[in-house]
A and B are shown apart, each in its own frame.
Chain A
Amino acid sequence: MGRVEGKVAFITGAARGQGRSHAIRLAQEGADIIAIDLLEPVPGAPYDAATEEDLAETVRQVEALDRRIVASKADVRDFAGLKKALDDGVAELGRLDIVSANAGISTQMAPTEDLAEDMWQNMIDTNLTGVWHTAKAAIPHLKAGGRGGSLILTSSEAGIKGYANIAHYVSAKHGVVGLMRTLALELAPDMIRVNSIHPTQVDTPMIMNEATYRLFAPDKENPTREDFEPASQATNALPIPWVEAVDISNAVLFLASDEARYITGVPLPVDAGCFLK
């Protein structure tokens, strides 16, 4: 008996990285999946866009676990497109229990005075407004189920402390905490729980790129993953440079499962002790 057997989970940003890992981990424990991803380049992002092939690979891996998945291309900034993708998924899979608002971007890294207007706006639109859109589209389905539900909003260590040169990211991720706390109060009467998770650096394409290496190792001219490793580890208390996507998925799974049936309104770091340093 899986820990989320018979439930249906909606995951944004599911083509690769943490989102794909969440889809697979929840499917391993018995959930069917509704997946969306942007699948287009993000202006200013220092990494390649997720592709149709990436999302198809997520579908393949979920189906290999004998679970069902409804995957579509949708942009969390576009409420109508997101809502349609979710509504179609619920129509096909019959219910909704779990939401992982995971889609997120990393873009320009610069002092706040030098951040470009469009970089700021696109960050807020994706990493904060996109999370609101995700919850807004999901709430009617969760209420309709009458069984409660669990929303997990992906914030960041940057949602509970400041970092120089990414004010737009820090602001959006802090905003997610305010959104989580408000949703937790608004949805508690319906036994719908809302929590946020706060990863330290995770080994995914969003951070394994030269721009991020430079953010952590600004003294190097052409910093590499090897230069990034000790600088990244220095932010953590445990002697590890970064966590794996599955470590975040295991936190999502715990919060999604009935084992956490009375946990709501909690910001949960998965951060190797980074917050203490």
Chain B
Amino acid sequence: MGRVDGKVAFVTGAARGQGRSHALRLAQEGADIIAVDIAEQIDSVPYGMSTPADLEETVRQVEALDRRIVATKADVRDFAAVKGALDDGVAQLGRLDIVSANAGIFSFGTLEELDDTTWNDMLGVNLTGVWHTVKAAIPHLKAAGGGSVVLTSSVAGLKGSPNIGHYVSAKHGVVGLMRTLALELAPDRIRVNSVHPTTVNTDMIQNDAAYELFAPDLPAEQRTRETLGERFAAINGLAIPWVEPVDISNAVLWLASDEARYVTGVTLPIDAGSMLK
């Protein structure tokens, strides 16, 4: 008996990285999946974003677990597209119990230098996209008689960090959204919590642009996974450079499961102690 047996989970940003990991972990424990991903580039994002082939790979891996999945290309900034994909998924899979609002992007610049497009893309995806995801899901969760919504924030949702002010602002906004939703949805037994990862070992971090942000003092040829690992380790309490996507998935799974049936309104760091430093 899986820990989320018979439930249906909606995961945004599911083509790769944390989103794919969440889809697989929930499917391993018995859930069917409704997946969306933008599966194309946003011009202000300085690394290669996911592709339709990535989303197809998520589908293949979920189906290999003998679970069903309905996957659609959709941009969380477009409410009609998110709602269309989710409504279609619920129509096919019959219900909705779990929401993982995971889709997110990363880009860089001081607040003095950021241009409007970079700012608006960030707020559009990482904050408004989360609101859109939940807004589309609420009617289905209410119809199911309860549920669990997990919003992906960040350690940057709980403390400041230079050169990513738009990211910090969006991820802090997710905490305000989570706390308000938890109060609004409690009468319907819908729980809402946020997860706050430290650096996660995904394509969003393992790229030249991110390396330059975290090691501007090193010449480009010295910005390797190993030298960056030391930089990333310095922000953690535990002596590790980053956590793996499955560590976030395990937290999402616990919050999604009935074991956390009375946990709501909580900011849960998976941060190797970085908040303490």
User: Are A and B a genuine interacting pair, yes or no?
Assistant: yes
Chain A interface residues toward B at CB < 8 A: 181, 184-185, 188-189, 191, 193, 200, 236-240, 243, 247, 250-251, 253-254, 259-266, 268-273, 275-277
Query: Does B269 contact A238, Cβ atoms closer than 8 Å?
Result: no
Query: Does B186 contact A259, Cβ atoms closer than 8 Å?
Result: no
Query: Does B189 contact A184, Cβ atoms closer than 8 Å?
Result: no
CA distance in complex: A176, B243 (Å): 27
Taking CB as reference atom, which chain A residue is nearest B188?
A239
- For this complex, 27 residue pairs linking A to B, each with C-beta atoms less than 8 Å apart, are A184-B276, A185-B276, A188-B239, A189-B239, A191-B239, A236-B186, A237-B264, A238-B189, A238-B191, A238-B262, A239-B186, A243-B262, A247-B259, A251-B260, A251-B263, A260-B251, A262-B198, A262-B238, A263-B251, A263-B268, A263-B269, A263-B270, A264-B238, A265-B271, A266-B271, A269-B266, A273-B186
Which residues on B sit within 8 Å (CB–CB) of A239? Answer: 186-187, 189
Number of interface residues of B (CB under 8 A): 35
State whether the Cβ of B273 lies closer than 8 Å to any Cβ in chain A: yes
Query: Does B237 contact A265, Cβ atoms closer than 8 Å?
Result: yes
State whether the Cβ of B261 lies closer than 8 Å to any Cβ in chain A: yes
Query: Does B265 contact A262, Cβ atoms closer than 8 Å?
Result: no
CA distance in complex: A125, B96 (Å): 48
State whether the Cβ of B93 lies closer than 8 Å to any Cβ in chain A: no
Query: Does A269 contact B263, Cβ atoms closer than 8 Å?
Result: yes
Query: Does B275 contact A259, Cβ atoms closer than 8 Å?
Result: no
With contacts A185-B276, A273-B182 taken as known, whether A250 is within 8 angstroms of B260 at the C-beta atoms is yes
Which residues on A sit within 8 Å (CB–CB) of B250? Answer: 259-260
Question: Which of A238, A251, A271 has its CB near the most chain B CB atoms (within 10 A)?
Answer: A238
CA distance in complex: A242, B41 (Å): 48
Nearest CB of A to B186, in Å: 4
With contacts A247-B262, A269-B263, A271-B262 taken as known, whether A238 is within 8 angstroms of B239 at the C-beta atoms is no
Question: Which of A184, A239, A264, A272 has its CB near the most chain B CB atoms (within 10 A)?
Answer: A264
Which residues on B sit within 8 Å (CB–CB) of A264? Answer: 237-238, 272-273, 276
Taking CB as reference atom, which chain A residue is nearest B253?
A259
**Which residue in B191, B262, B273 is a CB contact (below 8 Å) of A184?**
B273
**Which residue in B179, B247, B263, B264 is a CB contact (below 8 Å) of A262?**
B247
CA distance in complex: A185, B260 (Å): 27
Which residues on B sit within 8 Å (CB–CB) of A259? Answer: 247, 250-251, 253-254
CA distance in complex: A184, B247 (Å): 19
CA distance in complex: A237, B254 (Å): 20
Nearest CB of A to B7, in Å: 17
Nearest CB of B to A255, in Å: 9
Which residues on B sit within 8 Å (CB–CB) of A272? Answer: 186, 262, 264
**Which residue in A237, A260, A266 is a CB contact (below 8 Å) of B183?**
A237
Query: Does A266 contact B189, Cβ atoms closer than 8 Å?
Result: no
Query: Does A185 contact B237, Cβ atoms closer than 8 Å?
Result: yes
State whether the Cβ of B240 lies closer than 8 Å to any Cβ in chain A: yes
Which residues on A sit within 8 Å (CB–CB) of B191? Answer: 238
**Which residue in A181, A191, A250, A254 is a CB contact (below 8 Å) of B276?**
A181
Nearest CB of A to B268, in Å: 7
CA distance in complex: A247, B262 (Å): 7
With contacts A189-B239, A238-B189 taken as known, whether A262 is within 8 angstroms of B182 at the C-beta atoms is no
Which residues on B sit within 8 Å (CB–CB) of A277? Answer: 183
Nearest CB of B to A181, in Å: 6
Taking CB as reference atom, which chain A residue is nearest B261?
A247
Query: Does B239 contact A265, Cβ atoms closer than 8 Å?
Result: no
Query: Does A265 contact B269, Cβ atoms closer than 8 Å?
Result: yes
**Which residue in A184, A247, A250, A276 is a CB contact (below 8 Å) of B265?**
A276
Which residues on B sit within 8 Å (CB–CB) of A250? Answer: 259-260
Which residues on A sit within 8 Å (CB–CB) of B277? Answer: 185
CA distance in complex: A117, B209 (Å): 61
Query: Does A237 contact B268, Cβ atoms closer than 8 Å?
Result: no
Query: Does A191 contact B265, Cβ atoms closer than 8 Å?
Result: no
Query: Does A254 contact B264, Cβ atoms closer than 8 Å?
Result: no
Nearest CB of A to B25, in Å: 10
Q: A188-B237, A262-B271 are in contact. List 8 more A-B contacts (CB 8 A).
A: A181-B276, A250-B260, A251-B259, A253-B259, A262-B238, A264-B276, A273-B264, A276-B182
B163-188: CB near A (< 8 Å → 1, else 0) gives 00000000000000001001100110
Taking CB as reference atom, which chain B residue is nearest A194?
B273
CA distance in complex: A172, B262 (Å): 24
Query: Does A261 contact B247, Cβ atoms closer than 8 Å?
Result: yes
Query: Does B254 contact A254, Cβ atoms closer than 8 Å?
Result: yes
Question: Which of B179, B182, B238 has its CB near the most chain A CB atoms (within 10 A)?
Answer: B238
